A and B are shown apart, each in its own frame.
Chain A
Amino acid sequence: MKVTSVMTPLKANIAVDVDGYEDIEFEDIIACDLMSDVLVVDKEDFLLVTSLTSDQVARTSDIVGAVAIMLVNGKTPQPKLKELAKESGIPILTTPLGCFEACYALGQLQKGER
């Protein structure tokens, strides 16, 4: 699924724009606020849905190979997170939806794809 295709359904905005983000696709979705738990996941090329806004979100995403980050509850990334995400080439989106609503909407979209 293309990252851009979830923006309208989730009322999301792009908070960190990286080159060619329009073409980035994700295979899976991981929703988690604990980066420790994200590090245990075996999936790759996933969209990370989280309400954590510290720079470790970008570090963790880079280490495990997440392709994009979705911040929920209308949160905006901290400056250091922005900087690191940009460096790692990982776009950050923000949605006003809560974690459950965002995940539900993403689940519906996934179902539609299959």
Chain B
Amino acid sequence: MTSSGGIPINTDSSPTVVLELIYRLKIKDVMTSELHLAGPSDTMRSIQKIMKENSITGVPVVDNGRLIGIISVDDIINALDLGYIDDRAQDHMSRNIIVLEDDMPLSFGITYFDKYKYGRFPVLNKDNKLVGIVTSRDISSALLVELNKEMEQLEQRIRAQNPPLPVSHMHREYIVRKFDFENAGKASTEIKKILKNKELDRKTIRRIAVAAYELEMNQVKHSDGGRIIFLFEEDRVEITAVDTGPGIPDINLALQEGYSTANDWIRSLGFGAGMGLPNVRRVSDEFNIASDLQNGTTAKSIIFLTIQQEEE
């Protein structure tokens, strides 16, 4: 809690948008104007009925349009407990009422909730006429609605600043599962299909497809599973293979042609010649790989498009 104005919100670390909102919004923006009122001679029982029917916890008592008291659910409980539920409201209502004014900033209302520990405050206008009632729930939902509006505006502003990616940009992600030979290669086949529609030259498409396929097969054969991320941009294609483990103990060894840790049944499928990573490096213009035994392996193959397209 900060000392400035006694608002029970940390004004140092709260997002400015929230602070702006509680100063900008007025009590009348968050209050409920639909009132359920009682008269001074109404019985406590009839007020309990109003509460039950409308799912509310406080009923203002009004005489000739003037607020004279309030009955809360606590008063009703006491009435039931002490046996005066059939008494009139004016005999048991709270008369010493703290009210809010409809033109006050919301921050003021929040301070009141913190200061007086009441569940609700009646709201008067400048003519001292009862115009609404506000609960902490009203404040929460109003803030949520307003935050939502702010978010929408923010999103619109971001959209306006960053127009949608042109068609020449593309991003796809494929999930690869350990030992799922049934679907092994599916991601790469799809990537190749996408590239075919891009009218690139065959050699480039093939290099990208080979890089994707080798990386994908590596994930199926050796990793605990991962993702193949395909990024198509104007001048390049990036294939990134991210897995969750178990990591490569010696990357230099894994990059040696012919080095393989594949088992017999992987070999029976035609793989595991120890050519995978060296082959990815061979077809890539840029190739990076990082691996450790805690976080798994990330390998990225970049293939530039401009040079090949100019050669066409």
Contacts and interface: CB of A to CB of B under 8 A. Distances in A.
A joins B in a complex: yes
Contacts of B227: none
Given A56-B185, A59-B189, A63-B189, A35 B209 contact: no
B124 interface: no
Contacts of A44: 202-203, 206
B269 A62 contact: no
B23 interface: no
Residue picked from A33, A63, A64, A88, most chain B C-beta under 10 Å = A63
A59 B214 CA distance: 11
Contact of A63 (B181, B213, B273): B213
B306 to A, nearest CB: 21
Nearest to A36: B273
A63 B191 CA distance: 10
A26 to B, nearest CB: 15
Interface in B230-289: 269-276, 279, 282
A60 B192 CA distance: 12
A34 B209 CA distance: 18
B301 interface: no
B279 to A, nearest CB: 5
Contacts of B182: 80
B282 A56 contact: no
**Which of under 10, 10 to 19, 20 to 34, or 35 or more describes the interface residues of B?**
20 to 34
A34 B270 contact: yes
A37 to B, nearest CB: 6
Contacts of A50: 270
A65 B279 CA distance: 16
Contact of A33 (B185, B209, B270, B274): B270
B273 A60 contact: no
B228 interface: no
A57 B181 CA distance: 12
A44 to B, nearest CB: 6
A63 B192 contact: yes
Nearest to A50: B270
Contacts of A57: 270
B96 to A, nearest CB: 81
B46 to A, nearest CB: 76
A36 B271 contact: yes
Given A39-B275, A40-B275, A60 B270 contact: yes
Contact of B273 (A34, A55, A62, A88): A34
A63 B275 contact: no
Contacts of A36: 270-276, 279
Nearest to B280: A39
B210 interface: yes
Nearest to B267: A34
Interface string A43-55: 0100000101011
A37 B273 CA distance: 7
B188 A59 contact: yes
A35 B271 contact: yes
B71 interface: no
Contact of B270 (A40, A52, A63, A64): A52
A65 B206 CA distance: 7
A104 B214 CA distance: 31
A63 B272 contact: no
A36 B213 CA distance: 10
B184 interface: yes
Given A36-B279, A52-B269, A65-B202, 20 more contacts: A33-B270, A35-B269, A36-B271, A36-B275, A36-B276, A39-B214, A52-B270, A54-B181, A54-B269, A56-B184, A57-B270, A60-B270, A62-B189, A62-B192, A63-B192, A63-B206, A63-B209, A63-B213, A65-B206, A80-B182
Interface of B: 181-182, 184-185, 188-189, 192, 202-203, 206, 209-210, 212-214, 269-276, 279, 282
Interface of A: 33-40, 44, 50, 52, 54-57, 59-60, 62-65, 80, 88
